[in-house]
Structures are given as C-alpha cells and as structure tokens.
Amino acid sequence: MGTGELVHDRESAVDPADLPYGAAVTESGRISRAQEYVPDAPNGPFTTQQLSRIDEALALATRDTGIDFSIYLGPLGTEDTRAAAEQLHDRLGEQGDDAVLIAVSPGERVVEIVTGANTTQRVPDRAVKLAVMSMVASFKEGDLTGGFVGGLRMMADQAGSRPAH
Amino acid sequence: MAEAPGGRTRGLVGYPALVSILETTLVFAVIPLAICGVFALVTLRTKFAGRPRYRPGQEWDHPATWWSANPVSAGTSGKPSTDRGGARGNW
C-alpha cells in the first residue's frame, strides 16, 4: 500500500440505498450528509417586526431613564391580579426598587403596572395611570405591541433622563 | 334600420340594438364581480397570510413571557421592595 493511499473498509461498506435523504458515501468512504436549514421563526403571537419594536422600546426606555422596565405577558390569576403582579415584582429582589413592571394578561383583560420604591418617585402614580389609559386604548383595538410601545414611551418621558450621581 | 356587418341590426344612434344575454351578463355581472374580487384579494391578503392577531375577549393560551432590557436583574435575590406604586386598568 503506497503512502497516501486511501484505506477502504470494505467490510462495513454501507449501501447507498439505506442512507437517508441528502446523504451520500464519498470517495473515501465517509458519509456526507446535507441537512435543510430551517431559520428560527418566533412561534408566539407576535411577528418578528413586532418583537423588534417591543425590544427597541424596552431598550431605549431602560437606557434613557436608568429604570429597569420589564413587560410580563401572561396569566395573572382570576381573583387578585394586583397581588399576582406584586409577586412577580417581588421576584426582582433588590432590583425591584429601580424597576417598573408592566404585567398584562390578555386572558383576564387586565393590565397592572408595579413601580418600586425609587421609581415611584420618578414615575408617580398619576403618570402611570395615564400610561395605563393609553395602553388600554390600544389593547381594546387588539394592538398589544402598540400599547406596550406607547406605554413605555409615556413612562420613560415622565421619568426623564438618568439622574447624574 | 341598417344592416351592420356581423348581422346585427343597428339603430339610428349606431349602437348594436341586439345585445345577447351573454354580453349582458359579461358587462353587468362578470366585470363588477371581477373588480370586487380584485379588491377583496388585496384587502384580505394580509389577513390570511399573517398570523392571527389578538382580538379583545379571545382566549390567551400562549406561554407566559417576561421581557426585560436588563437580563441581569431577572432572578436576583434580596429583600423585595415594599414601598410600591402603580396603577391598573381593564379593557
């Protein structure tokens, strides 16, 4: 056997008919297989454009104000939605002081906004109520994305820019 | 009355006085339906092509999601904030 000659293991040779679709036996005996590339698409209720709008609004509001805005979208329980939203806010721990949680439950048709100890000073309840009214107007039309973006923008405008220490 | 080429009797105004039932249907039924169909196609295209949009009052069976621009803050421990504010709304 000369140097560089390919070694073929004839004993374990595979029958090309047994191979799955897109596979082939190469000259060296290796099995080369092509697989279809399936790009990831969001499987939730939002399109890619809507998700990117929400993401951009969240990032801009958080960066401009220094407040941790977050959006929860899911069930809040049927009895006490306020308590459920505050439990979610508890899970932020100490960061909850500088956070604003927007909890929306389309199933119960309720929106709860919880502000922390520091963010209550910067975004007073009256401003939050105004943002809620704007969001509700969008949600009534079935426009969840528009409601999130509008509410975030209003609260970020009210909070102003990040305070200088 | 003059005999027009094509065997039709022409009136004084020069319009074919004898219009077949097929031509009537074509002009008054098929063409308007075709125009309506084009507009319906254009307006309903996005409705069928896109994913179903949320309408108020319908069931929400999607898994719960929590978006944050600061992933570091998610899941942190510590004493939760007790001094809280906020607002709520329904639709």
Q: Does residue B90 register a pLDDT over 80? A: yes
List of chain A residues whose C-beta atoms are within 8 Å of the C-beta of residue B53: 45, 142
Instruction: Return the residue of A nearest to B80 by Cα.
Output: A93
Q: For chain B, which residues make up each domain, given as ranges?
A: 18-51
In a domain, A132, yes or no: yes
Chain B touched by A131 (CB under 8 Å) = yes
CATH number at residue A79: 3.10.310.50
Domain count, chain A: 1
First to last CA, chain B: 72
In a domain, A129, yes or no: yes
- Which residues sit opposite A156 in a β-bridge? none
Q: What is the ipTM of this complex?
A: 0.70
The dihedral sign for the CA sequence B23, B28, B30, B35: positive
- Interface contact B88-A63, CB threshold 8 A: no
Residue A71 has a pLDDT of 94
Range of the domain at A77: 48-159
| More confident site: A115 or B12 | A115
In a domain, A3, yes or no: no
* Tens digits of residue pLDDT in B49-68: 767 778 888 888 888 989 98
- CA dist B45 and B55 (Å) reads 18
CA A128 to chain centre: 23
- Interface contact B91-A59, CB threshold 8 A: no
Nearest alpha carbon to residue A155 among B36, B43, B86? B86
**Mean pLDDT computed over A152-159:** 94
